[in-house]
């Protein structure tokens, strides 16, 4: 795509739109094309801006309420589904900061991080109907996500085990399994370690699993597998027998036998070749005239670490498939960093002068594990996409550069912006782009749809994945208004009540469980500290609308 500067005025945006309509990177929609749109029903403010007051969201069809983790106030806010009114709260302040929430028809379970994050955390259970606290159980270090089996009898917890800032303490990542057995007064907790894989460290690294952190405890100065793995997100199969756990920083996914309580395997997500057509990306925040921001999506001589965050397991023709949001993540601690800008390194002499200049701002991995597994390759963080894999990790589909192209066409003033700021347009191009953060799946009119939330882009894209090998773009929702100029002041929060900033998680509500009779999507926006409920509708788009 030609260079486009970021001096955004109305006349220039019109010219930009005309330019986009003429480019081969976007395909013009036919007249009468129908797309899903999200129509906002209500927005609830949790009272804090930029303080993680709305992170994880869950819906109970039994109580017809949404449960939203509010880290700022150390509680779960309970919102009425019909109007967003807060009708109650679940207080976990005596245990720490809530990080996740799950629902069954009997209880609400809340993951709570210890104030000292390298110490073991908790899961706190509340009676669904009364809100009374039932139990508190200890789990691993920094529990970051909970998932409940379909029968409601087992809760799985991803214990991320992040290191301290100095990287002198790095607790093991683990999975806690909390099981309910009839007749027992309290649930039974088993924490599942990755220690069995410690002897396989070199083999895992050779396969592309990023075991790269330092350690002062071991003679070789490197972390063990169990110490380095950081479980991020869990999804459970429809039959409740297996689970898949994303290991985001490690660019890997683990599979778990739930009944046995054993990790079966760890597989690498591999690399994405950004030099291929339709897999390009914008690698710089300074590739416009006079080093200004610009939109330039094109193939580049780099490879992407997928590094998935959220994952959803779903069934298709008798087999389980995995849908991931490939956000990417770096390790930036006082004691260890695995990232540098390419311009600060000695780049391969096979790159032309123009290629080296273009990549100078791009963040690449300097982890020893990556150099061992992929010598000579420049590795970026995150896939800027969503992927579909089989249950053993084989890639079936990746959205390539469709997401960046969609934002460039529909919302160029916020392209790869940082936290939705107009004046920070293109800031994230040299990092992780739009950052696909969350995914959820829903069935509408006997077809299966995926909703992918883009964190920094404050956008949700919708795809029809009924045919998992050939997903079809089905809609896009840009939360903010084009005229909004977001500030981080809490006094500005009232101005954002009609919108949302940085979606963190979503909950799909099928039509049969919806108070409106139509499918709904609930979204927790972390930075704006708001929760919004949308009705999912089908509307026609004009012939001038662009789709990736």
Confidence class of residue 13 from pLDDT cuts 50, 70 and 90?
A: very low
Res 496 pLDDT > 70 = no
Residues whose CB is less than 8 angstroms from the CB of residue 528 and which lie 6 or more positions away in sequence, other chains included: 49, 54, 493, 496, 499, 500, 501, 502
How many CA atoms lie less than 13 Å away from 86 in the CB half-sphere? 17
Angle at 337 (CA atoms; ends 310, 305), nearest 5 degrees: 40
Cα distance between residue 426 and residue 431, in whole Å: 10
Cα distance between residue 506 and residue 523, in whole Å: 4
Confidence class of residue 159 from pLDDT cuts 50, 70 and 90?
A: very high
User: What number is the average pLDDT over the span 259-280?
Assistant: 97
User: What number is the average pLDDT over the span 69-83?
Assistant: 98
Residue pair 322/388 in contact (Cβ under 8 Å)? The answer is yes
- In a 3-state reduction of DSSP, which class is residue 312? strand
- In a 3-state reduction of DSSP, which class is residue 368? helix
Hey, CA dihedral for 352, 356, 362, 364, is it positive or negative? Answer: positive
User: What number is the average pLDDT over the span 291-297?
Assistant: 92
Res 12 pLDDT > 50 = no
The per-residue pLDDT for 18 is: 33
Res 336 pLDDT > 50 = yes
Residue pair 535/41 in contact (Cβ under 8 Å)? The answer is yes
Locate 107 and state its tokens: 């209880």
Locate 271 and state its tokens: 């690399």
- In a 3-state reduction of DSSP, which class is residue 250? helix
For the chain, give every domain's residue range.
Answer: 10-547
CATH topology of domain 10-547: Methylamine Dehydrogenase; Chain H (2.130.10)
Q: Tell me what the pLDDT averaged over the chain comes to.
A: 89
The per-residue pLDDT for 497 is: 52
pLDDT in tens, 449-491: 999 999 988 999 999 999 999 999 999 998 865 445 544 444 4
Q: In this structure, what are the phi and psi dihedrals at residue 534, rounded to the nearest 5 degrees?
A: -120, 145
Cα distance between residue 528 and residue 46, in whole Å: 9
The per-residue pLDDT for 420 is: 67
Res 217 pLDDT > 60 = yes
The per-residue pLDDT for 179 is: 96
Residues whose CB is less than 8 angstroms from the CB of residue 345 and which lie 6 or more positions away in sequence, other chains included: 364, 366
How many CA atoms lie less than 13 Å away from 35 in the CB half-sphere? 23
User: What number is the average pLDDT over the span 347-362?
Assistant: 93
Cα distance between residue 148 and residue 59, in whole Å: 13
Confidence class of residue 17 from pLDDT cuts 50, 70 and 90?
A: very low
Cα distance between residue 30 and residue 69, in whole Å: 42
Within 50-171, residue ranges assigned H as helices are none
The per-residue pLDDT for 498 is: 53
The per-residue pLDDT for 479 is: 81
Cα distance between residue 379 and residue 339, in whole Å: 10
Confidence class of residue 181 from pLDDT cuts 50, 70 and 90?
A: confident
Q: In this structure, what are the phi and psi dihedrals at residue 430, rounded to the nearest 5 degrees?
A: -85, 0
Res 23 pLDDT > 50 = no
pLDDT in tens, 272-286: 999 999 999 999 998
Q: In this structure, what are the phi and psi dihedrals at residue 226, rounded to the nearest 5 degrees?
A: -65, -35
Residue pair 140/120 in contact (Cβ under 8 Å)? The answer is yes
The per-residue pLDDT for 4 is: 37
Cα distance between residue 129 and residue 137, in whole Å: 21
Res 361 pLDDT > 60 = yes
Residues whose CB is less than 8 angstroms from the CB of residue 444 and which lie 6 or more positions away in sequence, other chains included: 511, 519, 536
The per-residue pLDDT for 413 is: 87
Cα distance between residue 57 and residue 509, in whole Å: 12
Residue pair 441/312 in contact (Cβ under 8 Å)? The answer is yes
The per-residue pLDDT for 506 is: 98
The per-residue pLDDT for 11 is: 35
pLDDT in tens, 499-523: 789 999 999 999 999 999 999 999 9
Res 546 pLDDT > 50 = no
User: What number is the average pLDDT over the span 346-370?
Assistant: 94
């Amino acid at each position: 795509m030609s260079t486009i500067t970021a001096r955004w005025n109305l006349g220039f945006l019109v010219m930009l739109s005309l330019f986009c309509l003429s480019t081969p990177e976007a395909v013009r929609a036919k007249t009468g094309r129908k797309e899903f749109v999200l129509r906002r029903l209500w927005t609830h403010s949790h009272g804090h801006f930029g303080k993680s007051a709305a992170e994880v969201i869950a819906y109970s069809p039994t109580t017809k309420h949404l449960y939203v983790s509010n880290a700022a106030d150390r509680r779960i806010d309970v919102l009425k589904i019909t109007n967003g009114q807060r009708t109650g709260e679940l207080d976990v302040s005596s245990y720490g900061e809530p990080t996740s929430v799950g629902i069954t028809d009997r209880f609400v379970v809340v993951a709570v991080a210890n104030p000292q994050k390298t110490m073991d955390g908790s899961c706190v259970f509340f009676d669904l109907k009364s809100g009374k606290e039932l139990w508190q159980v200890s789990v691993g270090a920094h529990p970051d996500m909970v998932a409940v089996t379909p029968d409601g009898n087992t809760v799985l917890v991803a214990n991320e085990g992040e290191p301290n800032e100095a990287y002198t303490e790095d607790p093991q990542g683990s999975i806690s399994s909390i099981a309910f057995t009839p007749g027992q007064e309290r649930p039974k907790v088993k924490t599942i370690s990755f220690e069995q894989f410690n002897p396989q460290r070199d083999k895992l690294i050779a396969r592309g699993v990023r075991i790269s952190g330092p350690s002062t405890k071991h003679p070789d100065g490197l972390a063990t597998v169990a110490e380095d793995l950081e479980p991020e997100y869990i999804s459970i199969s429809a039959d409740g027998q297996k689970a898949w756990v994303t290991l985001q920083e490690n660019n890997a996914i683990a599979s778990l036998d739930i009944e046995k309580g054993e990790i079966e395997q760890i597989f690498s997500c591999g690399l994405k070749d950004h030099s291929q057509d339709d897999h390009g990306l914008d690698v710089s925040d300074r590739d416009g005239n006079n080093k200004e921001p610009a939109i330039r999506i094109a193939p580049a001589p780099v490879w992407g670490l997928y590094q998935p965050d959220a994952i959803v397991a779903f069934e298709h023709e008798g087999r389980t498939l995995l849908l991931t949001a490939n956000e990417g993540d770096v390790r930036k601690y006082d004691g260890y960093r695995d990232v540098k800008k390419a311009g600060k390194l000695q780049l391969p002499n096979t790159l032309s002068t123009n290629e080296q200049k273009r990549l100078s701002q791009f963040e690449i991995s300097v982890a020893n594990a990556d150099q061992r597994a992929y010598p000579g390759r420049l590795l970026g963080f995150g896939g800027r996409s969503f992927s579909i894999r089989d249950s053993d990790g084989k890639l079936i589909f990746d959205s390539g550069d469709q997401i960046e192209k969609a934002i460039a066409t529909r919302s160029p003033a916020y392209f790869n912006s940082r936290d939705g700021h107009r004046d920070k347009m293109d800031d994230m191009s040299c990092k992780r782009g739009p950052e696909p953060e969350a995914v959820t799946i829903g069935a509408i009119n006997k077809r299966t749809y995926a909703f992918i939330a883009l964190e920094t882009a404050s956008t949700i894209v919708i795809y029809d994945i009924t045919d998992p090998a050939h997903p079809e773009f089905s809609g896009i929702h840009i939360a903010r208004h084009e005229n909004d100029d977001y500030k981080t002041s809490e006094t500005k929060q009232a101005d954002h009540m009609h919108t949302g900033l940085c979606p963190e998680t979503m909950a799909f509500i099928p039509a049969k469980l919806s108070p409106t009779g139509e499918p709904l999507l609930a979204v927790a926006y972390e930075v704006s500290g708001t929760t919004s409920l949308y009705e999912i509708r089908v509307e026609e788009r004009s012939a001038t609308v662009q789709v990736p």
